[in-house]
Chain A
Amino acid sequence: MKGPVPATRARIYLRDSEVFEGRPARALIHAAFVDAGVRDVSIHHGIMGFDRSSGVLSSRPLRFHADLPAVVEAVGRKEHVEAALPEIRRVLGRGLITLADVEMYEPG
């Protein structure tokens, strides 16, 4: 392992059902990070949540709602992560983008 080196972690919070031009927004956001040179990208499913425009969404039986949260998490060099943001803003209809400084250990 090499490092630590300064890096940026982006977390894009959106709904699993969010689509842009017929394709899942989470997949387009994943692709935007990869195209910008960010190597570590993962998509996580939430089991419950809410945003400014919704009631509480949940997978629990009594509050069942099919439209659950998703988060795309990407870690990489700041310039790579930032290069993906314009495309992400374009395909993300509604959601939250967060950036945070982290320290990254790289293989090798």
Chain B
Amino acid sequence: MRSARRIRVFVGEDERYQGRPLFEAIVLAAKEHGLAGATVFKGFMGYAPHADIATAGILRLAENLPVVVDIVDSEERIKGFLPFLRRAVRTGIVLSSLVEAEQVVPEGPDET
């Protein structure tokens, strides 16, 4: 286990950045920046200061459902990624916290 940083970016599913969904732009940018990984989760209900209640239920509008992007990497790499997030995330929130992290990789020669 070693000290690392996790950022969680909360955005709307329908937010866009340079022609593509914002969450997708964040994942692709993370990959481009050489970050270790990213995971996107879809919420099925939520609200935010800039958005009314969205829910996947049938009687309400299922527009702009919440999406969370999780990224874990070293303090320095996360710091290097923040300028992109500052540019790209105009409505949403970015949380940052310290975690202990341990990468598990297959034993023996790496097949990739």
> Given the complex, which residues of A lie within 8 Å of B105, measured CB to CB?
52, 94
Q: How far is the CB of A30 from chain B (nearest CB, A)?
A: 16
B41 and A46 contacting across the interface, CB-CB below 8 Å: yes
**Residue among A44, A46, A48, A95 making CB contact with B104, cutoff 8 Å:** A95
> Given the complex, which residues of B lie within 8 Å of A69, measured CB to CB?
39-40
B24 and A100 contacting across the interface, CB-CB below 8 Å: no
- Closest partner residue, chain A, to B34 (CB atom): A52
- Closest partner residue, chain B, to A95 (CB atom): B104
**Residue among A13, A92, A93, A94 making CB contact with B39, cutoff 8 Å:** A13
Q: How far is the CB of B103 from chain A (nearest CB, A)?
A: 6
- Closest partner residue, chain B, to A60 (CB atom): B24
Question: How far, in angstroms, from A53 to B104 measured CA to CA in the complex?
Answer: 12
Q: Is A49 an interface residue (CB 8 A)?
A: yes
Question: How far, in angstroms, from A52 to B100 measured CA to CA in the complex?
Answer: 18
**Residue among A44, A53, A92, A100 making CB contact with B100, cutoff 8 Å:** A100
**Residue among B23, B99, B103, B110 making CB contact with A48, cutoff 8 Å:** B23
Q: Is B59 an interface residue (CB 8 A)?
A: no
A96 touching B101 in the complex, CB below 8 Å, given contacts A48-B40, A49-B37, A71-B39: yes
Nearest first, the 10 A-B pairs at minimum CB distance are: A48-B40, A49-B39, A51-B37, A99-B100, A98-B99, A46-B39, A100-B99, A69-B39, A97-B102, A53-B112
7 pairs from A and B in contact (CB 8 Å cutoff) = A49-B27, A52-B36, A53-B110, A93-B104, A94-B105, A98-B6, A98-B101
A-to-B contact residues, CB < 8 Å:
11, 13, 44-53, 56, 58, 60, 69, 71, 89, 92-100
